[in-house]
Amino acid sequence: MPKPEHLSKREQQAMDIVYQLGKATAEEIQAKMPDDPSYSAVRALLGVLVEKKLLKFTKDSRRYVYEPAVAPEKARDSALQKLLRTFFDGSPGKLVATLLDKNERQLPADELKAIRKLLDDAGK
């Protein structure tokens, strides 16, 4: 599987849309893309993503229905690892510290409680 850093901005936009929708036609993807790309540009883009083995498709009548070729969990894990390497020196602790930094944002009480429970469970 190609690494996400090999995706163009448009390719990443299309992948994000397909992951959000689960399955989508070229028309549905085109409708959600910024800057109104042409239908033929979207179809060409989807063809590239199929070649890169990031999307797969089924034929429904005359339409192609695209879906991720990589499970969302695997894609999430890969994206998280890239985020950790790129911005946090591979340290989950630095990521959590950034999320909890009061100067950055105030987390809702229920989210803080859930994070505390995860940390407690991880320490056991």
pTM exceeds 0.75 for this model: no
Say yes or no to pLDDT of 10 above 90. Answer: yes
Residue 32 makes CB contacts below 8 A (sequence gap 6+) with 17, 21
Say yes or no to pLDDT of 94 above 80. Answer: yes
The verdict on 10 and 54 lying in the same domain is yes
The verdict on 22 and 62 lying in the same domain is yes
The verdict on 101 and 54 lying in the same domain is no
Task: Identify the domain containing residue 47 by its residue range.
Answer: 4-68
CATH number at residue 23: 1.10.10.10
The verdict on 64 and 93 lying in the same domain is no
Provide mean pLDDT across the span 40-56.
96
